């Protein structure tokens, strides 16, 4: 078994839930991309950012702080989107695909953030 696969199989359930939330966030971005390709010149960069952070979580698994990357990317996209007004605008869009994609993305990233915090707290307590 490879090192990454071994680390992932030993990863706590809450960290895996956080990674699953990131995957749902990517799915939401794909839905948005399909609904309005002109919105994303080329390829949605959010997919790359989320994938890199997920890879960092897996690479750092075994350390209590590994899910921090899930939390940071999730909050960056959600809170940054709200602060910039883009998330709200997309949720109020007349395009059903854009709205659905944003709902899926937001729910997935919210789960990733909460599960990441829970995973870090549980791992930190287990160390003490």
Report whether pLDDT(83) > 90: yes
Residue 94 DSSP SS3: coil
- Ordered alpha helix ranges (H), the chain: 3-9, 13-35, 45-59, 68-84, 86-91, 96-127
pTM metric for this prediction = 0.89
pLDDT tens figures, 6-54? 666 667 888 999 999 999 999 999 999 999 998 888 899 999 999 999 9
pLDDT band at 61 (very low <50, low <70, confident <90, very high): confident
What pLDDT does 41 receive?
Answer: 85
């Amino acid at each position: 078994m490879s090192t990454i696969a071994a680390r992932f199989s030993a990863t706590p359930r809450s960290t895996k839930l956080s990674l699953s939330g990131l995957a749902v966030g990517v799915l939401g971005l794909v839905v948005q991309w399909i609904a309005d390709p002109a919105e994303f010149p080329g390829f949605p960069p959010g997919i790359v950012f989320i994938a890199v952070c997920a890879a960092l979580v897996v690479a750092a698994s075994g350390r209590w702080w590994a899910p921090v990357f899930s939390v940071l990317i999730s909050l960056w996209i959600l809170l940054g989107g709200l602060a910039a007004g883009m998330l709200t605008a997309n949720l109020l869009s007349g395009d059903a695909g854009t709205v659905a994609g944003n709902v899926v993305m937001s729910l997935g990233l919210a789960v990733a953030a909460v599960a990441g915090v829970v995973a870090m707290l549980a791992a930190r307590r287990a160390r003490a």
